[in-house]
A and B are shown apart, each in its own frame.
Chain A
Amino acid sequence: MRRARRAAFLAASCLASLSLGGCQDLFNAILHSPAPVGVEASDGDYPDRISVSWSAPDLSDESWDGAEVSYYEVEWSWEGGSGSSSHLYSTSYTISSVAEAEEYYVTVAAHLDTGETGSASDSGFAMDAEKLVWASGGSSYTISGERWYETMLQEGFSYRFAFSATGSVAFYPYESLDELHSIGSANAVTWNCDEEGEGSKFYLRVSASGYPATFTASCDYGFGF
């Protein structure tokens, strides 16, 4: 009953919480779970791996009676499968050889010497994005099939992608895989940027037919095409 009340209080607190991770930590703290605190998986920081870090669970409460963490264990899953680490004695881990732009759901479990276990989760992804620049007269790029780019876009400007054959472009906020907008498939596609993105930075996923394909990226600088 007491736990139920705590959980209800928690749910309300979560509404005011700024981040999912912070909310999860709050939950675990109130439920007295020996879960690792501040679990964070990297979002596109590396081209082929995901870095996971966390802090030790808070066992200061007398109910833990001097319990200590024996080891940690990291488990992850993605659309194509799952994996896990061996017993870990540090508070960080690197998931290597991960697929690019694939969301991985990562869970870190703390195993106590009392036999109890607590866990917390986050999601992350690897990203090998090339820098896409908006040079005078347009910048040309060559791709095979699909390629991710990172760039900055000015809200209110229009951006055009002219393909050698046909292609499409999807826009994502920087450090996120939540698609904002996609256009195509056509010989040339234009997006009038109406989003601020994450600090005006974006990921772009460009797909093109033909092998190899080329496209030219150009900006109207607010003058219109």
Chain B
Amino acid sequence: MPQLATRPSRALALAGALLFAALAGAPPTAAEPEPRPGGGGPRFGIDAFVGTPSAFGDAFRSVFFGASLRYIVSPNLELSLDYAFMDVGYYYPEDAQGDSWAGPVPWSSMPERYEGMRSSWIFYHTRHFLAPQLWYLAPLDRFELPLALRVGAGPAFSFLVANDAADYYPGLAEAYALFKKDFEAYLGLSLRLGLEYRPGRFWRLGLEYLFIVDSFSGLADDLGRYGFGYVERSGNLLAFVGARL
């Protein structure tokens, strides 16, 4: 299963507690709808987030950034379209003839001879993440806490955009095609679990886990195999700040 990321440890316990509370302690009917000014209230929102991809050892040096456009159906239900710029994968020739190319790799793994050339390097692809999501929110107002649990799910798409250089360097085109062949299978489900802090009606701050799974059966298998370690292994920790309009 392709992994977007890994991370955390202490947040793990928090996530478990949140999940428990979401499922057991905060039934939908218990959620207090937020007062909407003029009978309306915020209908749209935008969240900016930063996440930790786990696919690399240097997770915190390879954070990804994204944004989420949200439509607020009701105090408990939201729809969103999330986009994240995941990373840049670099390719490089391994010999002076251009016979063999390596990659994609992060820039930190590039050979020393290319040091200082990052800003002008033309042999790369970028990786993007797109996920339409359905969210269930369980405000914890009844516990007099300005918090809400958020659980989201939906399809997840990850796609590559290659630089035009592959059109001019056949060796690069070969390496890119080889990687893309495996990558095209990368379509899965996005599952989200998090907690948002509501300092005011129009602002949100929070943390959440993002899991990308191939299928529910695959998720069940992985949970059976790794137990709670699955969160460490496959969860992407996201921090977000959002505005509601």
Do residues B164 and A201 form an inter-chain contact, with CB atoms below 8 A?
yes
Do residues A136 and B122 form an inter-chain contact, with CB atoms below 8 A?
no
Interface residues of A in 133-160 (CB under 8 A from B): 133-137, 151-152, 154-156
What distance in Å separates the Cβ of B91 from its nearest Cβ neighbour in chain A?
11
Do residues B164 and A223 form an inter-chain contact, with CB atoms below 8 A?
no
Partner of A220, one of B96, B120, B164, B171: B96
Interface residues of A in 186-201 (CB under 8 A from B): 196, 199-201
Taking each of B99, B122, B123, B165, which has the highest tally of chain A beta carbons within 10 Å of its own beta carbon?
A: B122
Interface size of A by CB at 8 A reads 22
B117 at the interface (CB under 8 A from A): yes
Partner of B117, one of A137, A156, A220: A156
Question: What class of interface size applies to chain B in its complex with A?
Answer: 20 to 34
- The tally of CB-CB contacts under 8 A between chains A and B is 63
Q: Which residues of A contact B93 (CB under 8 A)?
A: 221-223
A sample of 9 more A-B contacts (CB under 8 A), given A135-B171, A221-B97, is A135-B170, A137-B98, A137-B99, A152-B122, A152-B165, A152-B169, A222-B114, A223-B95, A224-B96
29 pairs, CB–CB < 8 Å, chain A vs chain B: A132-B168, A133-B168, A133-B170, A134-B169, A135-B98, A136-B97, A136-B99, A136-B170, A137-B97, A137-B98, A152-B122, A152-B165, A152-B168, A154-B120, A154-B123, A155-B117, A155-B120, A156-B117, A196-B120, A199-B164, A200-B165, A220-B96, A221-B96, A221-B97, A222-B113, A222-B114, A223-B93, A223-B95, A224-B96
